[in-house]
Structure 1
Amino acid sequence: MTSGSTDGVLCDYFYSEFNDSASVQMTSNADWSCTGSARQLTANGIPDHETGTFPNPGNPNTISETAVSVSYTLTPEQTDTVSTLGGPRGATGYVLNGVKIDANTAGSCDDSGNSCSLVGNTGNWHIEALGQTSFDFGTDDNNAHVQPNGAYHYHGMPEGFIALRGGSETSMTLIGWAADGFPIYARYGYSDAQDSTSSLKVMTGSYQLVENVSSNRPSTSVYALGTFAQDWEYVTGSGDLDECNGRYGVTPEFPQGIYHYYATDTYPYFQRCVKGQL
């Protein structure tokens, strides 16, 4: 198990500017600070980049301010317990702009596949927002959409924010903090996790489509594999990352090494769990 201090890293991140995107037209506020043993965020949940059109045919909700106030530890510590987050269990983390990370959806189907809904989560088969074509959740180019309470949130790579941060294939880009206090990076990591002079590569998750499809699953001829969360299984070593889309290694901000997460272009896109003490 590993631990580390994140004190002194982006402790004074502050942003407050009007977002002129057609579906926003509000000021985006995000204020991070470090006090004592805690990293604190106060924000209004409004993105700081251009968004898609909301409402839209796949998402009937309008972006609005939501009060964000969270506190994460400055001394994160890995545990033997994996904590699943998302939805009613709470956000897995926040991007620096104060927009939450919530990769799961409230959509589901029953076993027959004849009764499906994008809200309510009453069925056994949980629909993925990304990587499938059977259902339209109205996500934009930032892999985000809007919850009924107006909360804009990310299901995957926050492309607009990464662009604002100057993210590219030439550098690792820290984009946020997970609920356990460990940092989150976007897409690129060192090819040798312990060597900051090694080349950068696109990080891949270690989830694969299941080989043995449950007999209770809705027909794969109607809903292709990858439509539901249960279509994926963690296969150790099949990608670069662990079951929570993280790994231990050096980063520009933490040259001595730290456990950290990644947003990836492959499933699970953002971590669905955290490895640190909550």
Structure 2
Amino acid sequence: MNKKLVVLAGGVAAAAIAGYATAAGNWVEISERGNQICIRSNSIPNHATGQFPNRGNPHTIRPQNINVCVTASPTKGSRARGTGPGAIGIALNGVLIRPGTADYWDPTSPRGHSRNRSSGWNLEGMGSAKMLGMDSANAHVDNRGTYHYHGAPIRAVRTQGGTQVGWAADGFEIHYVGSRAKSGYRLKKGTRPSGPGGRYDGRYVEDWVFVGGAGKLDQCNGGTLNGQYVYFATDTFPFYPRCFWGRPSRSFRGL
């Protein structure tokens, strides 16, 4: 049996209408299909965006046809899985969440970075936000016109209410609770031994190291909220989970 759902106060309330639109053109529908939660959207946000194209981002926002499903009963495994540069989840407003980038330090490129991975220094989205043309919602646009988040979408949190901002591809909820959730990562000390050189300043993923500790989130940016394991969107690296404890849905492939 299929049921349309509505997202309320950080949770899912069954058997109510969830499709909605705004003047900005946002449309999203969240439904329950058996043991899955499915999200269809045009990936247009329900809040104002920055100006695109801009100096750091040459692309124009265009409506997309997003159709993904996640398990409603995620299981936490014993080994974390990597995520890659694609979408790791989707926000309640139907906008994709992609904290990673496919760009690497490349001194031969006019921009200083390219898709050539040989340097091993992966550009960190939020650490290079100005260079990549991020707006105040911590988002920008890809070459297909897909608007997507790299950091916590504060505007979306404020318009939706509650603490849940979306779902990860493996079905675990993603929540934003501000400074109450503390990342287990910290900047490395000293200077980079190769590649771009200079002090570790967060511009590259490799500038960060997981140290964990009491009261800190785990390596996938997860922890317990109201007795339930969830991932968190944080104001500092890694901003979103960069690994999964569950099995990610295949519906996110290529997004």
Q: TM-score range by the shorter chain?
A: 0.7 to 0.9
Matched, 1:227 2:223: no
Q: Distance in 2 between matches of 1:276 and 1:14?
A: 26
Could you tell me which residue of structure 1 aligns to residue 153 of structure 2?
158
Could you tell me which residue of structure 1 aligns to residue 224 of structure 2?
248
Matched, 1:80 2:78: yes
Does the residue aligned with 2:12 lie in a helix, a strand or coil?
coil
Could you tell me which residue of structure 2 aligns to residue 14 of structure 1?
18
Q: Distance in 2 between matches of 1:94 and 1:262?
A: 13
Does the residue aligned with 1:236 lie in a helix, a strand or coil?
coil
| 8 A contact 1:32–1:39 mirrored in 2 | yes
Q: Cα–Cα, structure 1 residues 78 and 215, in superposed 2: closer, same or farther, change >3 Å?
A: same
Extract unaligned runs of 5+ from structure 1.
1-7, 21-26, 167-171, 189-200, 251-256
**Aligned-residue CA RMSD in angstroms?**
2.2
Matches within 5 A, 1:13-52: 14-20=18-24, 27-52=25-50
Shift of 1:19: 3.6
Match of 2:232 among 262, 266, 270: 262
Q: Cα–Cα, structure 1 residues 58 and 132, in superposed 2: closer, same or farther, change >3 Å?
A: closer
Q: Which has the larger displacement, 138-147 or 211-220?
A: 211-220
Matches within 5 A, 1:91-170: 91-110=87-106, 113=107, 115=109, 117-122=112-117, 123-132=119-128, 136-166=131-161
Report how many aligned residue pairs link the two structures: 235
Q: Cα–Cα, structure 1 residues 70 and 225, in superposed 2: closer, same or farther, change >3 Å?
A: same
Q: Distance in 2 between matches of 1:215 and 1:263?
A: 30
TM-score (norm 2): 0.84
| 8 A contact 2:212–2:218 mirrored in 1 | yes
Could you tell me which residue of structure 2 aligns to residue 198 of structure 1?
none
Could you tell me which residue of structure 1 aligns to residue 169 of structure 2?
179
Extract unaligned runs of 5+ from structure 2.
1-10, 249-255
Shift of 1:129: 1.8
Q: Which has the larger displacement, 78-87 or 259-268?
A: 78-87
Shift of 1:211: 3.5
Q: Which has the larger displacement, 113-122 or 50-59?
A: 113-122
Could you tell me which residue of structure 1 aligns to residue 194 of structure 2?
216
Q: Distance in 1 between matches of 2:17 and 2:139?
A: 22
List per-residue Cα deviations over 1:131-186 (Å, max 9, x = no partner).
Answer: 357x61000000000000000000001021112123xxxxx511101111111111
Q: Distance in 2 between matches of 1:147 and 1:266?
A: 23
| 8 A contact 1:207–1:234 mirrored in 2 | yes
Q: Distance in 2 between matches of 1:19 and 1:83?
A: 39
Higher helix proportion (structure 1 or 2): 2
List per-residue Cα deviations over 1:35-84 (Å, max 9, x = no partner).
Answer: 21111111111111110000000000000011111111011100012121
Does the residue aligned with 2:174 lie in a helix, a strand or coil?
strand
